[in-house]
Each structure stands twice: as structure tokens, then as C-alpha cells.
Structure 1
């Protein structure tokens, strides 16, 4: 298959490297010094079970617009959720009202990306996805450090015979590329379960400048994480999604046992980048408020992080 990866950061580079290693064609879209390094040197990715060092094809978003849209089977969107709206508008201009566009696969944080994309594109072409049990980030331009299995769950926003056939093929392709993948019949539930983990550890790790292992194995801090996770489950009720206590406990155990990593917000803080506060924290606060109650754990942690980070 032929893939375009929009956002060659940690996750995008990991997926791209795995797919290239399995024999697929991949073009990366990046920016800044990372793009310059990718265009001049090899992409190097270090993982406990997989090392990759190879020259890859990479462009800026403006350069890639010159490539024929029909040449791609799928576009993997792995950018920050903060850029989804702007990226959706750029893609709409790029596709220029083409009806036969590739499938758009969002592998981003948050639960609203697919809704944003569907304002500019046919929802039947949008695949929601998430990847968990993976830590991956840029350690220097064109150099990626990754750990974990990258368990991936995918599902169509609006099911059709075409996108179900595509998903079956994509599931096979990803699994053969050593990206363990399954198709969900209820992808919105899975997105909110991923948000339980993200809201649980992302902001608090960024606030305290600590990896997940430190937080999860601290008696008092881990109780705050559990409170953050429970608030996320409460927020999901506003979208008609019921997440049980057992499922919250499962997510809590998952992150407790997983490798100690730097969540994306901590990496963003260290690199002075925009934080996904709206997409991870405020979505929980807003949905709780819509149900008539507060989200004190999430409000406290996100407010403290926003104040300490953006006051600089």
C-alpha cells in the first residue's frame, strides 16, 4: 500500500518505519529542523525490538500538495490535535473537491478530531483510530526513540461496504508490519477509553515534570490519577458512552504496569510547544459541566499546568 503520513513525529515516524520495513511505500510530511534532517539524512528509530535506519521520502505540507492525490491508499494523520482544524482546511484545498480521495485515518489524541475532519470531508472516508502502549518522541532531528507495542484500534465513523473492506485489508497490513491492530465496532468507546489514560497522566506528568512510572508508583499521586480517570468516564456519559468502573480500573492498571514514559504533554513542555489542553483536559471539563457537575481533579491539574507553563 501507499501511505502519506501527516506529522512525522514520534508516532508517525514509528508507523512509517514499520510500514517501510514491511515493504510499503511511505511519504512523510514534517516541518522545521526535523524536516531538514529527514531530507538530508537517514531517519533513525530506536526501539527495544526494532531499529530502523534508512533514507526516507519527506516533504513539507506545501511541497506534498503537488503529488497526485490518487497515488495514496491512505493518509495517516498523526499531528497534534491542536492543528486538526487548520490541517483539515489545508487538505480540503489540496484535494480540491476530488470525490475519490484516500481514506483519512486519525491516530491523534482526543475525541473530536473525526468530527472536525468530517466538516470538510465525507465521513465515510474517515477512519478513527488510536494507538496505546507506545511511547515515541523525537530526541533530535531525524532521530526517534520509541518503546512499547503500539497496540492499535481502528473503526469507521460511518460504516460502508467500501470502508469495511478497506479496514480488513489495513488490519492485515498493519499486523504484518508488526503493529498489532484490531477493528472495533464501537470506536467512539475506544477513543474515550484512550482519553481516560491521556487525561489521567498527561497533564499531571507535564505539571510535575515526571515520567508515568514515578506518578503511578507514588501512593498519593496515583490516587489523583485515578480521580482524573473517573472524571473522564463521567464526561463520556454526556456523549452517550458508558464506561464502567471495571474499564476505568483496567486503564489504570494498564498505565501502572506499562513502561515508564514521558507522555506527549511532558515532551511538549520540554520542547516549548503548544499543549493539547483543550483536546485532553478541557473536553473532560466541558462535558462534565454539560451534565451539571464539576471535574475538580481535571480542572485543578490543567489550570495549574496552564498557569505555570503559559505565564512564561
Structure 2
């Protein structure tokens, strides 16, 4: 497959490198020192599942330099989604499909404002990875999975082709016949972990050991479940409790990318996480006091230091 990775950070860099090593024709769209490092020295993956060094990396500054591709991975920060959607119009016009692996339940709605709905494949990723230094992606933990599917539940040729490419690359992969539910289920956990680690300013181990913050994490996730159910998503009633049990299996030092961004003084994805839950809750008459308070408390930091 010819794949463009739009956003070569932890998610895009890791999965793009694995696919390139397995024979896919991958082009990374990146910026700054990370782009220059990939051009000059290649891309290196450090992972407990095996390190990888790509010496000859095709890396460009803008999607317009990519040329004709079969598929585009969107892995940029959420505030860039609208600009990315606009930039993809000519690429999609040449036949490319688009799959976003961002942590938002409204990402594909934003993309579909500018792109044909039939060009969009629903996607979810599960991985803890980040840029360790320019040209180096550091993967922590053993999880590295992509799940995707057509919104109508069909097993299309493009979905099967991507599945086969991922399998060949050694990526854990799943084709879902209900990807909207998968997106919402991941959203439950991402919102909870992001909100509580950022509000407490500590990793998950500290949160879970304290009875009050543990209960707060559960309440934050329960609100997301309630909003999703009100919007017609078939999330089980006990899903938040199950996710809390999942968090207990995490390393106590694990945290969220939003907490990392907060600590570094970077811009936060807050408006698309707890902020979005609170806004959607108001639209469907579901109370979301925990998410609203966390969104308000963190709002002075939303644009970075």
C-alpha cells in the first residue's frame, strides 16, 4: 500500500515505521527538527517488542508533496484537524481514503465537513509512544494495536488490504463492524485518564491509590458513558467500572499525553476531551459536572504556558 502518515509523532511514527519495514510505501509528513532528523538520519523505533531503524525515509513538510497514495493516516493533534481536512481535499480527489487515529469522537465529523463521507474509514489506536528525540520514537509497554472499519459495517477491499498490511508488519489489528462504538469506548478511557492525571498532576498510580481521586476517575468515565449512550452508542452500563479495573493493571508511573503536555507547558487537547464531554452533555441533557469542572480548572492552560 501507498500510505501517507500525516503527523509523524508517537502514533504515526511508530505504526508508519512498522508498515514501511514490512514493505509498504510510506511517506511521513512532519515538521521542524523531527523532519530534518528523519531526512538526514532516518527514523528509529525503540520498543520492548523490538527496535527498528529505517535508514531511507521519505519525509516531507506538506501533504501536497506526497503525491498519489491509497490511504492517509491522520495522527495530528486535534486542534489541527480542520486545517488537515482542508489540505486533504486534492489527495482524496485522487482516490485516497482517510483514517484518523486521533482521540476524539467528533474527529470524523470534522473531516467530513471537507471530505466525502465515503472516503473516511473509522479508526482507533492503542499504544503508548512519543517522540523521544528528533528522529526517534519511544514505545513503552507491550500494546500496539490498530482497529478500524467502515461505518456501514461492510468488509471493504481497502479495509482488508490495510488489515493484511498491518498483519504483515506485526501490528495487532482488528476489523470492526461497529467502529463508532470502539471510538467511544476508547474515548471513555482517554478522557478519564487525561482529565484526572492532568487535574491531579500525578501519574495514574497516585490517582488509583487515593480513594477520592479513584472515585473521581470513575465518575468522569461514567459521565462519558452516559453521554455516549444518550447519543445512541451501545456502551455497556458497567463499562466505566471495567475501565477502572483495566487501569489497575497499568504501570503506576503511566500517565496521559495531556498530562505530559501540561507539564511541558504545551497546548492541551482539553476542549476535545473533557470540554467536549461537557458540551455534548449539555446538548443531550446529561449532567457532566466532573468533566465540566475539570475543563474549567484546566482552561487557563489550554493554549499552553
Same topology, TM > 0.5 = yes
User: For residues 35 and 254 of structure 1, do their structure 2 counterparts lie closer, same or farther at Cα, with a shift above 3 Å needed?
Assistant: same
Counterpart check, 1:90 vs 2:84? no
Q: How many residues align?
A: 302
* 1:68-108 CA distance string (max 9 Å, x none): 22xx221111111111111101122x43x72x421101111
1:211 offset after TM fit, Å? 2.2
1:254 offset after TM fit, Å? 2.1
1:265 pairs with one of 242, 253, 258: 258
- Give me the whole-angstrom Cα distance separating, in 2, the residues matched to 1:255 and 1:14: 23
1:193 offset after TM fit, Å? 0.5
Matches within 5 A, 1:146-295: 146-147=139-140, 148-158=142-152, 164-259=156-251, 260-295=253-288
* 1:244-298 CA distance string (max 9 Å, x none): 2232222222232134423121222234332111211122111211232431111
- Give me the whole-angstrom Cα distance separating, in 2, the residues matched to 1:73 and 1:130: 19
Instruction: Give the TM-score, by structure 2 length.
Output: 0.91
* 1:105-159 CA distance string (max 9 Å, x none): 1111101111111121221111111112x21111221122112322222121346
Instruction: Give the TM-score, by structure 1 length.
Output: 0.90
- Aligned residue for 2:16? 16
- Give me the whole-angstrom Cα distance separating, in 2, the residues matched to 1:145 and 1:25: 22
- Give me the whole-angstrom Cα distance separating, in 2, the residues matched to 1:311 and 1:245: 35
Q: CA RMSD, aligned part only? A: 2.0
Counterpart check, 1:301 vs 2:300? no
Structure 1, gaps ≥5 residues long: none
Confirm or deny: 8 A CA contact 1:230 1:248 kept in the other structure: yes
Comparing 201-210 and 104-113, the one that deviates more: 201-210
Counterpart check, 1:136 vs 2:129? yes
User: For residues 25 and 271 of structure 1, do their structure 2 counterparts lie closer, same or farther at Cα, with a shift above 3 Å needed?
Assistant: farther
Structure 2, gaps ≥5 residues long: none
- Aligned residue for 2:42? 42
User: For residues 209 and 39 of structure 1, do their structure 2 counterparts lie closer, same or farther at Cα, with a shift above 3 Å needed?
Assistant: farther
Matches within 5 A, 1:42-61: 42-55=42-55, 56-61=57-62
